[in-house]
Structure 1
Amino acid sequence: MITLPELKSRRLVLRPLTAEDASAIAQLGGKDFEIVRWLSGVSWPFAEGEAEAYLDTVVGVDPLTHEAAFAITLGGVFIGVVSVIAPGDLDELPDAPSIGYWIGRAFQGYGYASEAVETVLEWGFEIYKSDAIGARAFEENTRSRGLLRKFGFKPYAMTERYAKALDRKVSNVVVCLERSDYEARRQVA
């Protein structure tokens, strides 16, 4: 089993989530419908103990077989979560890891999500030795889809997933970033 590293970007530190992050997750994300509405596995209203239950599934697990979940921090302040999920999460791309993320609303619009995704993509390609990384976003989530497109993710498939907070199935766009496209983009930058 590998241990999650601390990843640094220009403004952010991505550190492994810990059990102590439960209250920050609940306060910043879980109690804000405008965050929860875009996450398929989160209840609304946010259930007591839901953050702790999530952390029980990601803290101390092998990221090569489960989820590598990082707290996004800015100057030591918790502002969101970014994760790379081991291959198998997306039926449409079973051999590719996938990424997911959310940023607290007060921290949106400053490029922090882009910076966190860029940082974790580099780590994800390196650690999973995969030819591609996938992601999915609600079809209506134009901001998230735009962020993924910015990094070269291309539409791959459509699917439906049940969204707990919305209590219905939601159309999702599955996107894929090929390693060759990622490396070509990095060489240009």
Structure 2
Amino acid sequence: MTEIQTPRLLLRQWSDDDLVPLAEIQADPQVMRRVGDGAPRSLERTAEDIEAWEEEWDEEGFGPFAVELLASGELAGVVGLSVSKIRPGIEINWWLGRQFWGQGYASEAAQATLEFALQDRGVDRVIALIHPGDTPSENVARKLGMTEEAEFTHPDHGFPLREHTIDLTEYEA
């Protein structure tokens, strides 16, 4: 089982105990407004998400991590990798419960996830798909060293997205 520890966080695979706290995070419209179709998710949908993420871990050797605070053991949210369904490449994603915003957790977890992707899994390019105007996520991407490559319209939902990218040569430079 893959785990990554940062100074304040434990990035780990999912457990049964994560369902209810993640469902609470994913039920918040403010958290979910820029995730997937932008709709809050039910307990059942959250269970389906976790199951799909576990399958992705089995099939790809990576997936979304549960992000746990080391100090309290609280589930803060989701940060991880997935095979993008709408753009070519491996996508890095992050969303945290609102009470964890503005504390640098997303950047800390995303940095560790990027290192995992590039160094442990041999991924040569990582993308982030970010809504224009999502300044906190754009800041995380910038801290990771990602550059904006393109703006496009989501093929299923019709809203604009910006593709940010980084490759291994940029990361090691």
Q: Aligning the two structures, in what range does the TM-score lie when normalised by the shorter sequence?
A: 0.7 to 0.9
Question: Which amino acid counterpart does residue 135 of structure 2 have in structure 1?
Answer: T
Write out aligned runs for 1:27-38 (5 A).
Answer: 27=24, 29-38=25-34
**Aligned mates of 2:137, 2:46 — CA distance in 1:** 22
The runs of 5 or more residues in structure 2 that have no matched partner are none
Aligned length, in residue pairs: 171
Q: Does 1:78 align with 2:75?
A: yes
More divergent stretch after superposition (133-142 vs 64-73): 64-73
Q: Does 1:116 align with 2:112?
A: no
* Maintained 8 Å contact 1:16/1:70: yes
Residue equivalent to 2:145: 152
Aligned residue among 161, 165, 177 for 2:166: 177
* Maintained 8 Å contact 1:160/1:172: yes
Aligned residue among 97, 122, 134 for 1:129: 122
More helix by share: 2
SS at match of 1:172: strand
For the aligned residue pairs, the C-alpha RMSD in angstroms reads 2.1
TM-score, length of structure 2 as denominator length = 0.88
Distance 1:162 1:141, change over 3 A: farther
* Maintained 8 Å contact 1:156/1:175: yes
Residue equivalent to 1:15: 12
Which consecutive segments of 4 or more residues in structure 1 shift more than 6 A?
A: none
The runs of 5 or more residues in structure 1 that have no matched partner are 185-189
Structure 1 residue 14: deviation in Å?
Answer: 0.5
Residue equivalent to 1:57: 52
Q: Does 1:102 align with 2:95?
A: yes
Structure 1 residue 60: deviation in Å?
Answer: 4.7
Structure 1 residue 89: deviation in Å?
Answer: 3.4
**Aligned mates of 2:59, 2:146 — CA distance in 1:** 22
Q: Deviations over 1:24-75 (max 9, x none)?
A: 1111x2221110101124533x334111011111125445637512111112
Distance 1:56 1:169, change over 3 A: same
Question: Which amino acid counterpart does residue 105 of structure 1 have in structure 2?
Answer: R
* Maintained 8 Å contact 2:67/2:75: yes
Distance 1:18 1:41, change over 3 A: farther
Identity of aligned residues (%): 25
Distance 1:19 1:159, change over 3 A: farther
Question: Which amino acid counterpart does residue 6 of structure 1 have in structure 2?
Answer: E
Question: Which amino acid counterpart does residue 183 of structure 1 have in structure 2?
Answer: E
**Aligned mates of 1:67, 1:42 — CA distance in 2:** 24
TM-score, length of structure 1 as denominator length = 0.81
Question: Which amino acid counterpart does residue 82 of structure 1 have in structure 2?
Answer: V
